[in-house]
Amino acid sequence: MSKMHIKMTVNGKQVETLAEPRELLIHVLRERLDITGPHIGCETSHCGACTVDMDGKSVKSCTVFAAQANGADVTTIEGLGGPDNLHVLQEMFKEHHGLQCGFCTPGMITRAHRFLQENPDPTEEEVRFGMAGNLCRCTGYQNIVKAIMAAASEMNAAKEAAQ
């Protein structure tokens, strides 16, 4: 089967690669573009470890064909922050022990980022409902919810200070 040119914007950069239409977005990101932040947990659309932001929506990149993503604007955990410039969410996950093994964390934070764009001042219950597509086998979720609530407060305080 012939490959097609896939052009995307990933973390603000134009990228182009050859891939078969049937390749999954998660494989294109990890294996062709060397963007290994998003993880493969279940590969069956259930765990959310592969969550990336695509055209302003949180999607499970194990359930998107490369061909569908052609032309899309994709953000992964790498686009939110790195070791030298942690995003508030990353900072708060660290602060509040929102991770143990860290496997689910890129998906958690990428999803939480989109969630807080849509609901900047959520209740704890809303956080749990908004994060329901992401599974964690380690933390018991308590500290993940705490970290997201704390990040929301920090982000709102920063917004107020800027005004």
**Candidate residues 7, 22, 46, 94; the one interacting with ligand FAD per rule CB under 6 A:** 46
| Separation of alpha carbons 107 and 39, rounded Å | 7
37 binds, among ligand FAD, other proteins, ligand FES, none (CB under 5 to 8 A by kind): none
CB of 136 to ligand FAD, least distance (A): 16
**Candidate residues 15, 67, 138, 149; the one interacting with other proteins per rule CB under 8 A:** 67
| Three-state DSSP class for residue 156 | helix
Paired strand residues for 74: 10, 54
Quick one: which segment of 22-30, 81-89, 146-154, 155-163 binds other proteins (CB under 8 A)?
22-30
Q: What is the DSSP string of 75-131?
A: E-HHHH-BTTB--HHHHHHHHTT--SS-SSHHHHHHHHHHHHHH-SS--HHHHHHHT
* CB-nearer residue toward ligand FES: 28 or 49: 49
**Eight-class DSSP state of 26:** H
- 102 forms part of the interface with ligand FES (CB under 6 A): yes
- 162 forms part of the interface with other proteins (CB under 8 A): no
Residue with tokens 């279940």: 42
* Positions that interact with ligand FAD (CB under 6 A): 45-46
* Positions that interact with ligand FES (CB under 6 A): 40-43, 45-50, 60, 62, 99-104, 136-139
